Structure 1
């Protein structure tokens, strides 16, 4: 369950893969919503997108708490200083951009009329912005742009995983797949 100094624990791996799949799915779903002709049920699709976004925010916060409470496995022996710096920079940027994208979406929800605060019909999510058409457009545009930047960071992350798997062959990817320490 817990991380060690050599490998990722089951909880960290579940957060990593679960959030990774959902975030990539949300970017694809968002692209789909914005690039198909408007439909009468458009609000429904945007509400689902917002509801899942609130879950991404919650689980990203939980993941960061878990990260603080558990050791980060050391990079493999022979890792160059620049590789370690790049890995930390990319990982930090992934967390920051995820929070920025979700927060901009949440801000858009509060500024949009009607808002997307109804969480799967169970309760209303508190909104921190007020209805404002201009602000809604601003938040939505920056939400989309930030999502594309996040997608680029994810692509770099995936390329780095392939680099470790196929070029370095140092077990970094395996530690995140099955927790095997190399």
Structure 2
């Protein structure tokens, strides 16, 4: 692979940005589904185990979202097709940055919940302890957990809007926007 295919260009997404996009997309949707499942099965002795796995993957989502943003700042964002109306450009930028912001917020609230919960979810796959920035507090734990869930649903709504916009570009506009993220075609 040449450097050119790894990096974004003014016309298309590079391999690294595409890998971040699809990997984080799958992880975030999987985490929302897993979180819903986890909160809708009856309390069991192994409930802490499932919540710990959720927290561990959440730490990774936060890390990779930060790396994705660093990569985004260091690479050009491909332009939308010339005939794209200004309102669509504005909505696309707003949705994209909102996806990043809510992903960070959901993960941050989950991390805050971890430190406030007893026992915490700081043991990262048994390898090391993730530093916690909140202290044990039952009321705060519930607050962080509830907002973690509410914002996750808002994030899911933004993801649905993002997917609908991609399908709109693919099947109605037929302007190649989706293909740029699938295989990097300009």
Residue 5 (1) aligns with residue 4 (2): no
Structure 2 unaligned spans of 5+:
1-5
In the other structure, the counterpart of 1:112 is 117
SS for the counterpart of 2:110 is: helix
Per-residue CA deviations over 1:3-37 (Å, capped at 9, x if unaligned) read 00000000000000000000000000000000111
- For residue 164 of structure 1, the aligned residue among 164, 169, 174 is 169
Tell me, in whole angstroms, the C-alpha distance in 1 between the residues paired with 2:37 and 2:95.
27
Structure 1 unaligned spans of 5+:
none
Tell me, in whole angstroms, the C-alpha distance in 2 between the residues paired with 1:38 and 1:172.
45
Q: Which aligned runs of 4 or more in structure 1 are off by greater than 2 angstroms?
A: none
In the other structure, the counterpart of 2:153 is 148
- TM-score normalised according to structure 2 size: 0.97
- TM-score normalised according to structure 1 size: 0.99
SS for the counterpart of 1:129 is: coil
Number of equivalences: 181
- For residue 35 of structure 1, the aligned residue among 40, 62, 73 is 40
In the other structure, the counterpart of 1:139 is 144
TM-fit CA distance, 1:77: 1.7
Residue 69 (1) aligns with residue 78 (2): no
Alpha carbon RMSD of aligned pairs, Å?
0.3
- For residue 88 of structure 1, the aligned residue among 83, 90, 93 is 93
TM-fit CA distance, 1:157: 0.1
